[in-house]
Amino acid sequence: MMVTTTPNQRIKLLGLDFGSTTSSALVAEASVTSNCITGRMEFGEPKIVFKSIPVFTPFIQEHIDEVAIAALIRQWLMQSGLDSIFAGGSIITGLAAQSHNAAAITKLVRELVGETVIATAQDPCLESWLAFMGSCSDLSRYHSDSLILNLDIGGGTTNVALGKEGDVLQTGCYFIGARHFQFSPGGYQLLAISEYGLALLRQLSIDKGVGQTLSSAECEQIMGYYCQALEAVVQGDSQFFADSLGKKHEQVAFPPVSNSPPPKITFSGGVGELIYQHMTGEGLPSTTYYGDFGIDLARAIIASSILSLDLRDYVPENRGRATVYGLTLHSTEISGTTLFLPNPEYLPLRDLPIVSKLSVTATFEQWLAALTLAMHREQGACVQIIGELGGLNDIRVLGQRIAQSLKQCAYPVHQPLVILVEANIGKVLGNYATDWTKSGLNVLVIDEIPIRDAHFVNIGRVHQQIVPISFFGLH
């Protein structure tokens, strides 16, 4: 399903989130505009036009139910009336991402939805980034003098992101979530336990298994460990995760925050939704209503003097659906209208590794090393240029240095090489790098793209002289 933009046309963005507990879809409508301050192309006046009802992610034992997922996607597309997609994202998160067929689900999404949507699994730092952008980006800009630390707590993981003025600075991820223990709703009889839950039971000397019932004291022990772990994260206590149990629960370590004063703490995800629901006086559902520890974990966090410090004064906007909001509204950047694109027929390009991030002053030897590395991937690779250029002469020098490096390493003529730059210099730099296309090389220079600390990039098809860019595999 492709879409071609025309002036003032509003385009559609799609987000699909398959989590440990629930799955949901979101469709937004936005215009493609030029920022009056930065001059960059961006999505303007976004409006949510479809929001699915969250449903339990369908599993067959340890596998995601592919047939049920396909039916869900078709149902969401029909309900939303979506007939054209400019860009978007699909992500499998938490314990669902550890399912043996998670990769097959991403392939299924591409088949059903199309090539315009990035589909990925097991990308914890991207999840953390998306959750912050989906829940706290506006809050962070409003409180521009404060660091904000967001804990996105779902069924399988807690995704951590530190940000300021709307930008994410650091991320991490821990296997702390509500659904490591599953119950018959209304009580604590165990129906299923994850490997992380089993490890925790052993550490706490709780000799219980599937079919047995946890006592109130045992539930408090489990919640106590989870809260201590979250407190250690926000306080920068890396020693908490130094033992075998801590290491098992630490998927991506979150670096200690050295800034003073400490960051303001916010929450998102399913547990975050429950926390703020309680704080606004709505109350909480009955015991294990969702068949997991979500309600108990929310209560334990509220009771923590460390974790609850900012609950009333710093409330994020999209709490329970932070990741899917982030996917829909923030997973895609838009190139400038001066991109260098001599061979648009080669687009889209998927899963391009960012093989190097080079300064604008990088030497010939550094460029030669980066391009030699890029040559090893026939499907294409990407180099990101970091820093600002002083003027036309600097652009010319950089372009000629790239041209010399391409010639020296005998870069294959038809093999795609994507160069990402922040400044509005795509056409000029591309022309210098290819000797005004005389080299015949398949070089694309995509400009006005903000720096992201990522491993991979997807480049969509050209629409009205712009292309959608999405990053994944964030550090």
> What stretches of 19-136 adopt beta strand conformation (E)?
22-34, 41-51, 55-56, 59-60, 63-64, 87-92, 117-121
Q: Do 353 and 469 share a domain, yes or no? A: yes
Q: Do 345 and 307 share a domain, yes or no? A: no
Q: Do 359 and 212 share a domain, yes or no? A: no
Q: Do 98 and 140 share a domain, yes or no? A: no
- Residue 305 has what pLDDT? 96
pTM: 0.83
Taking alpha carbons only, the member of 329, 375, 335 closest to residue 356 is 375
Q: Give the relative orientation of helices 392-408 and 426-433 as an angle to the nearest 10 degrees.
A: 40
Taking only the tens of pLDDT, the chain with its 475 residues reads: 333 444 456 788 889 999 888 899 999 888 877 665 556 667 777 888 999 999 999 998 878 999 999 999 999 999 998 877 888 788 888 888 888 888 888 888 888 887 666 667 677 888 888 899 889 988 998 999 999 999 999 999 999 999 988 888 889 999 999 999 999 999 999 999 999 999 999 999 999 999 999 999 999 999 999 999 999 999 999 999 999 999 999 999 998 877 678 999 999 999 999 999 999 888 899 999 999 999 999 999 999 999 999 999 999 987 777 787 787 877 788 887 788 999 888 888 888 888 888 999 999 999 999 999 899 888 899 999 998 887 899 999 999 999 999 999 999 999 999 999 988 889 999 999 999 999 999 999 998 888 777 788 888 888 777 788 888 766 5
- Residue 2 has what pLDDT? 37
Last residue of a domain, one of 105, 122, 139: 122
- Residue 10 has what pLDDT? 77
Torsion over CA: 413, 418, 421, 427 (sign): positive
Q: Do 373 and 312 share a domain, yes or no? A: no
- Residue 37 has what pLDDT? 56
Q: Do 152 and 296 share a domain, yes or no? A: yes
- Residue 5 has what pLDDT? 42
- Report yes or no on 227 lying in a domain: yes
Q: How far is CA 170 from CA 156, 163, 173, 394, in A?
A: 20, 7, 11, 32
- Residue 39 has what pLDDT? 60
Say how many domains are in the chain. Answer: 3
- Residue 34 has what pLDDT? 66
- Report yes or no on 326 lying in a domain: no
Q: Do 184 and 165 share a domain, yes or no? A: yes
Q: Do 177 and 234 share a domain, yes or no? A: yes
Last residue of a domain, one of 319, 346, 371: 319
- Residue 118 has what pLDDT? 66
- Residue 206 has what pLDDT? 97
Please, which contacts does 217-222 make with residues 24 or more away whose CB atoms are closer than 8 Å?
A: 219/188, 219/293, 219/296, 222/181, 222/293
Q: Do 75 and 220 share a domain, yes or no? A: no
- Report yes or no on 1 lying in a domain: no
- Residue 169 has what pLDDT? 87
Token output for 160: 């951590």
Q: Do 142 and 284 share a domain, yes or no? A: yes
CATH code (residue 112): 3.30.420.40
Residue 117 domain boundaries:
10-122
How many whole angstroms separate alpha carbon 14 and alpha carbon 29? 9
Q: Do 341 and 395 share a domain, yes or no? A: yes
- Report yes or no on 3 lying in a domain: no
Look at the block and give the residue holding tokens 């591409």: 110
